[in-house]
Amino acid sequence: MKPFLYILFSLVVLASCDTTPKASSSITKYIPRKAAVVIKTNDFKDFKSALVNNDLIQELAPTALYKTLVKGQTLFKDIQPDGETLLCYTKLGRNDYDISMITKAHASLFKGDSLLMKEAALKDPTIKTLGGTAHYLIYKDILIASTSKILLENVLREDNTNIYEDDLFEKAYTSSSNSATASIFIRGSEGASLYKSLFPNATANALKNSFSWTAADVDLDNNDIRLSGVALVQDSTSQRLSLLKNTQPVVNRIASITPTAATAVEAITYDDWKQFKSSKADFLKLDLSKYTLAREDLFASFSEVGIIHLPKGKVIVGVSTDITVTANALASASEKAEFRKVSIYEINMGSAFAKAYSPLLNLSSPTLYASIDDFYLFAENQEALETVIANYQNKATLSNSATFQNTESTLSRASSYLYISSLGSNAYKELASEDGQKVLKDITLDGYDYSALQLIQEKDYLLLNMAILKNDEATTDANIAQIANVKLSADITMTPQLVTNHRTNGKDVVVQDINNTLYLISNAGKVLWQKDLDGQILGDVQQIDLYRNGRLQLAFTTPSSFYVLDRNGKEVSPYPLSFKDNITQPLSIFDYDNNSNYRFVIVQNDKVLMYDKNAKAVSGFTFREAGSAILYPPAHMRIGNKDYITIAENSGKLHILNRTGKTRIDVKEKISFGDTPIYKYGNNFETFTVNGEKVSINTSGKLTQSISDFQSDSKIAIEDKLKVGLRENKLVVNGKKREIAFGTYTSPSISSTGKSQYIAITNTESSEVYIYDNKGVLLPNFPIYGTSKADVGFLQSNKSLGFVTQGGSNSVLIYKIN
């Protein structure tokens, strides 16, 4: 059932290209017997105008479906219908359809041609050619035009016989509105082949044995498409929608548990399991008294069952009417793991779900389950379960989504069948042919975030409601969605870090595990490569453009080596460089003139080594050894037109050097260095002592020590003019103090993204990440689960703000901030 939405969606496009005039019941008998789709309109010109002015339909103009239908429309360009008109689509070949137009004849039917009057006088009507490629027939004051001459010959051959008789079609036809822009009718028996021709890559055929007829009135404006109508099921047939007969729809809850990152979600509801089971027995033509299903006690406790489709798996959802009954039905399960204080159990469901709910829902055989509130989640993939749990806890669900609220407002609260698709996920593109996917690749459908279809069971039919609405540009979700939870093969030892992907200008993630394996992970959570190193990386991974061609490499040190890796994780010759003595500080990179003529600085306790971009020792740099261990990675700064290199010793000595390593500023006083490396502020050099006092040194070497906003043991981060300090439950941002919850926090980190700066801290006791703006205001919907520092940045090129942090001992979490 899930792609049922797509067929209706495509048929709106189909209608858009062959704009259809009005039809009355007197002309329905000329509909071809095997017509898969019939479109009716009452005002051809108005409908045509609405289609031309609808943004969504025009977005799809490059598609083969659209072009085929536009071509079909031009075949009838000389016909000017007035009143009800039918367009009929009858399968011709594998992916080809004959198109027929049926309408009442009138004096001005043909543009500037009096042929109609002559045809009407003939006692023996004949088939004429229209424009060389189509044919037409005036028969009993009815115009029948078609791309198939055979269809017209059938009309003459059967003479007074009603060519078309179908009680359910007539019922569907009479249910359509005469005031609608157009009405679409889909014949169930031809639906399977129609669906296959439109969506050859679909794994399941949404229209196979689903219904007899659907009828939907189409409402178009400049932005939106709405359909409302009915679906009809023939009694005593094995049509899948018959499973909903005699049930009462229940208020849908599944949107409250569905992550905004889901590609789609579908669900059915029932008020009475026994009635649903009875319908299933009728569907299978089995004796209800002998019909049994495994896990009936579980299914009887649900009022809604559905599937959440995620990029990395599916999750079955059951909404419990009584959690005690549901828990008892699952009592045999054994606990396997815990995720965010939610227990995950192993369970052998076998094919119980599939046998109970097929063919309405295509359900798998889950082996795991978890419960949260009254939602019971079942999956084969633990990561999929964790994704749903995490996003539910983070309130990153459809029901909390501002972009979904526009669509949700058009839906009834209760439905028998519900299907919601994220158009932004582009899942619909994968259903097209290979050629179709190439065309769809460049179609973005900007502003069209969701499409939704619902069916509501009434006495002997189902009400149909569908909407594809365009959101205002200002409509965005103020929530946080977990888009990936990547589990490594061993525990993480390095805080996950965002790095630039020079191919996309977006971000990827680097992280290292306890086995010294370095991983590069895409922003969607795919492990791109793994690289075994000889030790743990010191500090952060940095990026350089070694060949000045825009392609970035990863540069870093371990205690034994200096590595440079390319985008694919390959070592860049002549690197790595190996060292006999241990490297004790992270790699320093100087780019004096911002021309990628790099200088790489290696620290070994009190010794300093400098290399050029070709891995050759820079002989002109004369500073070789400090008097004691070096505290921080050496740093390069520019004040005015002069370069300065700072090196701080454990003894309290601060060296301020020029490019050659000779003293540029003689700092005579000793400094009680804290954890804050030397930084530039204005035309001065600054740092903080172990007691939190600010130390400022001007370019003449004068040292000034003063009381600061930070106390001893403060954790301090500084970037540009943003100064952040954290001690106990006090966060100080540029002198302004804010109280936060007590806890054990990581040092604050500052991320510059676009024109904004963000401050991140993590409470490792409560596993909560906090992200603030540069004024110290907490962003909406924080804190969010995380166990390590967070690195903030645009996940895609200048958009999709997000961050990466650690989850469990071996998991990387990637979040998107909407």
* pLDDT confidence bin for 158, thresholds 50/70/90: confident
- Same domain as 304, residue 193: no
Residue 167 domain flag: yes
Helical ranges in 125-187 per DSSP H: 149-158, 167-175
Q: What is the phi/psi pair of residue 800, to 5°?
A: 60, 70
The predicted model scores a pTM of: 0.77
Q: How far is CA 480 from the centre of its chain?
A: 13
Asked if residue 393 is part of any domain, the answer here is yes
Q: How far is the C-alpha of 356 from the C-alpha of 281, rounded, in Å?
A: 10
Output DSSP code: residue 789.
-
Beta bridge partners of 673: 689
Q: Is residue 102 assigned to a domain?
A: yes
What is the DSSP secondary structure assignment for residue 630, as one 8-state letter?
A: B
Shared domain check, 290 and 205: no
Q: Where are the beta strands (DSSP E) in 491-598?
A: 497-501, 506-512, 517-521, 527-532, 542-544, 553-557, 561-565, 577-578, 588-590
Specify whether 212 is located in the same domain as 117. yes
Query: In this predicted model, what pLDDT tens digit does every residue of 406-435 receive, in sequence order?
Result: 888 889 999 999 999 988 877 777 777 777
Average pLDDT over residues 189-218: 78
Question: Looking at the structure, do residues 55 and 186 belong to the same domain, yes or no?
Answer: yes
Separation in Å, CA 172 to CA 30, 190, 234, 241, 360: 16, 16, 12, 16, 22
What pLDDT is recorded for position 44? 72
Q: Say yes or no: 243 and 385 in one domain.
A: yes
State the DSSP code for 394. Answer: T
Range of the domain at 370: 233-400
Report the C-alpha gap between 636 and 625 in whole angstroms.
17
Check whether 14 has a pLDDT greater than 80: no
Q: Which residues contact 386 (CB under 8 A, 6 or more apart)?
A: 339, 340, 344, 485
51, 143: one domain: yes
Contact present, 233 and 239 (Cβ < 8 Å): yes
Same structural domain for residues 342 and 203? no
pLDDT of 12: 45
Place of tokens 């994220």: 422
Q: Which of 765, 725, 720, 722 is nearest to 742 (CA)?
A: 765
> Does residue 794 lie in a domain region?
no
Q: Note the pLDDT of residue 7.
A: 45
* Strand pairing category for 368-372 and 342-346: antiparallel
Provide the strand spans (E) within 567-702.
577-578, 588-590, 599-604, 607-612, 635-639, 642-648, 654-657, 663-666, 679-681, 684-688, 694-697
Same-domain check for residues 209 and 237: no
Residue 730 has pLDDT above 70, yes or no: yes
pLDDT score for 2: 43
Query: Is 252 found in the same domain as 206?
Result: no
Buried b vs exposed e over 137-154: b needs ≥16 C-beta within 10 Å? bbbeebbbbbbbeebbeb
Q: How many residues does the chain have?
A: 818
Domain-embedded: residue 115? yes
- The domain boundary, picked from 400, 426, 443, lies at 400
Of the three residues 336, 369, 400, the one that is the final residue of a domain is 400
Number of structural domains found in the chain: 2
- Statement: residue 23 has pLDDT above 50: no
Residue among 786, 730, 781, 728 nearest 762 (CA): 786
State mean pLDDT over 22-36. Answer: 73
Kindly indicate the confidence band of residue 212, based on its pLDDT and cuts at 50, 70 and 90.
Answer: confident
C-alpha pair distances (Å), 740 with each of 108, 770, 772: 79, 10, 12
The pLDDT score that the predictor gives to residue 19 is: 35
17 pLDDT tier (thresholds 50, 70, 90) = very low
**Based on the domain organization, do 394 and 267 belong to the same domain?**
yes
Q: What is the pLDDT of residues 40-75, one digit of tens each?
A: 988 877 777 777 778 887 787 777 666 655 555 667
Q: What dihedral do alpha carbons 135, 137, 143, 149 form, nearest 10°?
A: -40
- % of the chain with per-residue pLDDT over 90: 57
The per-residue pLDDT for 303 is 97
Domain stop point among 380, 400, 420: 400
How many CB atoms lie under 10 A from the CB of residue 170?
Answer: 14
Assigned domain for 811 exists = no
Mean pLDDT for the stretch of residues 307-334: 94
Asked if residue 246 and residue 214 are part of one domain, the reply reads no
pLDDT digits (tens, 9 = 90+) for 667-697: 999 999 999 999 998 899 999 999 889 999 9
Identify whether 732 is part of a domain.
no
Q: What is the pLDDT of residue 9?
A: 45
Q: Say whether both 225 and 290 belong to one domain.
A: no
Whether residue 164 is contained in a domain is answered as: yes
107-117: average pLDDT:
68
When the pLDDT of each residue in the chain is averaged and rounded to a whole number, the result is: 87
Q: Burial-class residue 289 by CB neighbours within 10 Å (0-12, 13-18, 19+).
A: exposed
